[in-house]
Chains A and B, each alone.
Chain A
Amino acid sequence: MKRAPQIAYLADGRRLHLQDGPIDLIVEARGGEANVRAAYDAAARRFDGLLDELCKELPLLRQAADPAHCPLQGNIARRMHQAVAPFAADCFITPMAAVAGAVAEEILGAMVKSARLDRAYVNNGGDIALHLATGEHFTVGLAERPDAPGLMRTMVIGSDDPTRGVATSGRHGRSFSLGIADAVTVLARTASQADAAATIIANAVDLPGHPAIVRCPAHDLQPDSDLGARLVTRDVGRLSGSEIEDALEAGADHARKLLAAGLIEGAVLRLQGEMIVVGTKGIGLQGSRAPLHGTAAESPLHV
């Protein structure tokens, strides 16, 4: 029996839902009925067979990326490699770190090529590729906690901003994290770049050797994980205010370097209720702790 991807409108009749295996996309386009229709058709056509195409190169995609040479063939696979290559010289990273963003980008590309759209997005489980015509903007919500629906922070991304990709990584996500961040959201020029950078920054939010952090080899949890025997975070106990700050600072430090190198446009790092914002456009003051949040002091508080 041939496996067919699931392609359907969501209940609102506005957004398209594409699902195949682990890929789960929410797509929305604006720009007139005929254009939206053409864009959705293009998205569905491109989606059909996309997973098979990726899986053909899966063993290679799960290996550490070579910073200088790309052995991959497929369009998406090559984009994944390109996104992780800047990090590959300094640390272990596989092209899989950018798979969600790269898929979102590919689908968005197919849509934009076949229709004139005011704006469109492809959201691949939180890794989002954006299209903005001149003068348009998107308001992107940040989930504070995955278990608390209904409340979001938002960032506004305008057509003048270089950002066209948003990705979130952290220890609660579907993929494993080497770090302890609850969530790291990254803005970058492309979704695949944002995806790779979010993974790297989330890994850097860490307190190595801390007894309250439970880690376990990735392949004990998922036998074919690309992370192999590397220790991934399973649980994080209570941390003190200064420990939270130290861990966040380690990640923020990394984020600032990526910002300076032009690899990201901004990042929001969260751990146990605390937050650091890095970047200029849309999300706060450059390189400094956002004035939004005080440190949870260890002294008695009287509200």
Chain B
Amino acid sequence: MPTEPTASDDKIRCDACPVMCYIKPGAAGACDRYANHDGRLVRVDPHIVLERTVSHGGRLVPFQATGDWDGKIVHEPSIFVTAIGAGTTYPDYKPAPFIVSSEIDGVDMVTVVTEGIFSYCGVKVKIDTDRYLGPETATVRAEGEAIGHVTTSEYGSQMLSLGGVHHLTGGSKKEGRVTCDALVDLSNCKPVELTIDGGATVVVQAGYPPIVNGIAEERMRVGCGSATIGMFAKQWHGKVDEVVVVDDHITGVLSEHQAGKLLDIADTGIKMKGRRSTPGRYFQVAEPGTGWGGTRISDPLSVLGPFDAKKARPGMTMLMVSTTGEHAAYYELDEALRPVEKQMPADLKLSVERIQENCEPALCTVLFMGGAGGSLRAGVTDNPVRLTRSVKEALTRVTSGGAPVYVWPGGGITFMVDVTRLPAGAFGYVPTPALVAPIEFTLRLSDYAALGGHMDHVRPLASLKDNETLQIHSQPLAPGQRA
């Protein structure tokens, strides 16, 4: 360990080893292991930290704010041969850069490795939030440029459709460049700030919660207040007289709700504020906010009026809970029919935990979608349509950077892949602008020959020695390659 560093101006002298580097604030020494953090010598050990991060599936973040650390990977390589960085021969029709055969399970398998240039591509973004992001078909912008639009929402999620050939090549040069940047960043799991015309600003990053107008979303609600009543009515039946699920959109009341009626739950004389929509469903019980169930209230009793003395009776029990289960309280009516908070019985606590358990963490997910058409297929076979047919017949497996893909039925090879399943930095671009994404076709050697494959370019993995061209290989010589 180093002894106390000697300060001189703003730099410090590291004496961890005889190199005795002078290190400026925010920089690391020659070893990349010791750094100057606000005038203090700190150990950073990027190798070990990085290795651990990678093995836990974490994201790689440069440890220096200046971003000039090369992010070298010190870990065992994956075994699968992927196309990332394989290069592409586009736009000519030469055989794909690497056609590698290796023996898998006694079957001579062929992996055609290529890096496709996709000008027909985009990303579909699913944002788990109930917050209003903007109207359907509204333009989505990055750096002020139109890069896509809001499309139809899905349950508990808002959907964006970004990129596509129109924004990549159909608009101004800047529009194409900004679209390409946003797609590459989103596909490489980096955060991108998007603004929606007439709506919100949202920071989207695959695998992370959305940040809507500066506030990070934590959980998806289990459903609206009314849906929550429907989901849990049976579990509450017999354990409590009344349940109110507080929700900014639709607050649910068990005794009045259809679900409660079906269970013959008796009236409780409860009186809700807000506007009644249908029995047991109330709009606008409170202003929206960050309190209970997306409202601004901190005391749930504020959404109730006095109980009806004709129906309510002392000792009646009531559970109030939010749509995420993050807030909950238990009450009993006193002699004056006023709710008094009491300790929640264990079985009700369990039902609240069940609500929490059923709320999934709010995430942004990004699917890359691209069409592998014309000449990319020609790099694989001299009869391109046979490759398409082979994919359709499931004889050829398509992967992207080793990750499974969904191949959309119909013409061409249009595939979708969850970008978080690809290794870091898997996507690139060319100045066209278009995205460069890895795509691999794996099939039996005999099937490859049958579909007109470039048999003379197939290289068995085992016989690379005398080959004078570059080969692709699953295993580097050793970790710690320096670029």
Contact assessment for A153 and B471 in the assembled complex, using a CB-CB cutoff below 8 Å: yes
Inter-chain contacts of A277 with B (CB < 8 A) = 470
Q: In whole Å, how far is A20's beta carbon from the nearest beta carbon of chain B?
A: 7
Q: Which of A127, A182, A273 makes the CB contact (< 8 A) with B483?
A: A182
Interface positions, chain B 449-483, Cβ under 8 Å from A, are 464-483
Shortest Cβ distance from A234 into chain B, in angstroms? 7
By the criterion CB–CB under 8 Å, are A303 and B119 in contact? yes
- Check if A147 sits within 8 Å of B117, measured CB to CB: no
Q: Are A174 and B467 in contact (CB under 8 A)?
A: no
Partner-contacting stretch, out of A40-48, A75-83, A282-290 = A282-290
Q: Which of A139, A173, A220, A277 has the most CB of B within 10 A?
A: A139
Question: Residue B236 at the A interface, CB < 8 A?
Answer: no
Docked Cα-Cα span, A142 to B30, in Å, equals 24
Contacting B at CB under 8 A, from A120-168, are: 121, 123, 125-128, 137-156, 158, 168
Of B258-266, B288-296, B421-429, which stretch is located at the interface? B421-429
* Complex contact A21–B17 (CB within 8 A): yes
Docked CA distance A221–B269 (Å): 74
Contacting residue for B117 out of A140, A158, A301, CB 8 A: A301
Q: Does B436 contact A (CB under 8 A)?
A: yes
Give the contacting residue for B423; candidates A55, A138, A149, A292; CB below 8 A. Answer: A149
* Chain B hits for A151, CB < 8 A: 77, 81-86, 423, 472
Other contacts beyond A21-B16, A123-B478: 19, CB < 8 A: A12-B76, A24-B47, A51-B19, A141-B475, A143-B481, A149-B424, A150-B423, A151-B84, A151-B472, A152-B472, A156-B464, A168-B483, A221-B27, A234-B68, A238-B431, A241-B431, A292-B89, A303-B116, A303-B375
In whole angstroms, what is the CA distance A124 to B88 when docked?
31
Residues of A within 8 A of B (CB): 1, 3, 12, 15, 20-22, 24, 26, 28, 51-52, 55, 58, 121, 123, 125-128, 137-156, 158, 168-170, 172-174, 182-183, 220-224, 234, 238, 240-241, 273, 275, 277, 280-284, 290-294, 296-303
Q: Quick check: A148 and B426 within 8 Å, CB to CB?
A: yes
Interface string of B426-444 (1 = CB under 8 A from A): 1010111010100000000
Contact of B480 among A3, A125, A241, A294 (CB under 8 A): A125
A160 to chain B, nearest CB (A): 10
Q: Are A174 and B32 in contact (CB under 8 A)?
A: yes
Interface residues as binary, B362-374 with A (CB distance below 8 Å gives 1, 0 otherwise): 0000000001111
B58 interface residue (CB < 8 Å to A): no
In whole Å, how far is A291's beta carbon from the nearest beta carbon of chain B?
7
Asked, given contacts A152-B77, A303-B120, whether A3 binds B17 with beta carbons under 8 Å apart, the answer is: yes
- A150–B482 Cα distance when bound, in Å, is 14
- The docked-state distance in angstroms from the alpha carbon of A241 to that of B117 is 15
State whether A172 and B21 are in contact (beta carbons under 8 Å apart), knowing that A144-B85, A284-B469 are contacts in the complex.
no
- Stretch from B90-98, B244-252, B304-312, B318-326 at the A interface: B90-98
